[in-house]
Amino acid sequence: TPVALTLHDEPTASRDYVQARLGAADLAIWDARGADEYRGEKLSSARGGHIPGAVNFEWTAGMDPQRGLRIRADIAEVLQDLGITPDKEVITHCQTHRRSGFTYVVAKALGYPRVKAYAGSWAEWGNLPDTPIER
């Protein structure tokens, strides 16, 4: 039996969208990669570093190993301290949007109203010759 699907673009952010929003006061870019990737020391793309203004909080740091890797109980406070707050549009990414799938779910579970996933992630951003990068 055929299933009718309706796809919505709202939960996703394209590279153009991310680039157009850089520097916005109401934007938090959550980089879920490891610190060495964020700093540009470990390369998985042509260029290393991070999207300008991105905040690095490695995805597994949001898990509680004592509770079967569930979302850690203090995650709201941790994100608040990092500036990843519900009043901002949160765009989450990693290298290939596998790890940041978890961070997207965390923000949604916390009730953040504006959460987007940059599916292209660093695999796209870091392989383009003209996207801005910070180290």
Q: In this predicted structure, what is the pLDDT of residue 32? A: 98
Q: Per-residue confidence at 20, pLDDT binned at 50, 70, 90?
A: very high
Total number of domains in the chain: 1
User: In this structure, what CATH number is given to the domain that contains residue 99?
Assistant: 3.40.250.10
Q: Is residue 120 part of a domain?
A: no
Tell me the pLDDT tens digit for each residue of 40-51: 999 999 999 999
Q: Is residue 131 part of a domain?
A: no
Q: In this predicted structure, what is the pLDDT of residue 116? A: 98
Mean pLDDT calculated for residue range 27-50: 98
Q: Is residue 20 part of a domain?
A: yes
Q: Is residue 119 part of a domain?
A: no
What residue numbers bound the domain in which 42 lies?
A: 15-110
Q: Is residue 58 part of a domain?
A: yes
Q: Is residue 6 part of a domain?
A: no
Q: Is residue 124 part of a domain?
A: no
pLDDT of 7 strictly over 90: no
Q: In this predicted structure, what is the pLDDT of residue 67? A: 84
Tell me the pLDDT tens digit for each residue of 55-103: 999 999 999 988 887 899 999 999 999 999 999 999 999 999 999 999 9
Among all residues, which ones are annotated catalytic?
94
Q: Is residue 98 part of a domain?
A: yes
Mean pLDDT calculated for residue range 24-37: 98
DSSP for 82-118, please give it: HT--TTSEEEEE-SSSSHHHHHHHHHHHTT-S-EEE-
What's the whole-model pTM score?
Answer: 0.93
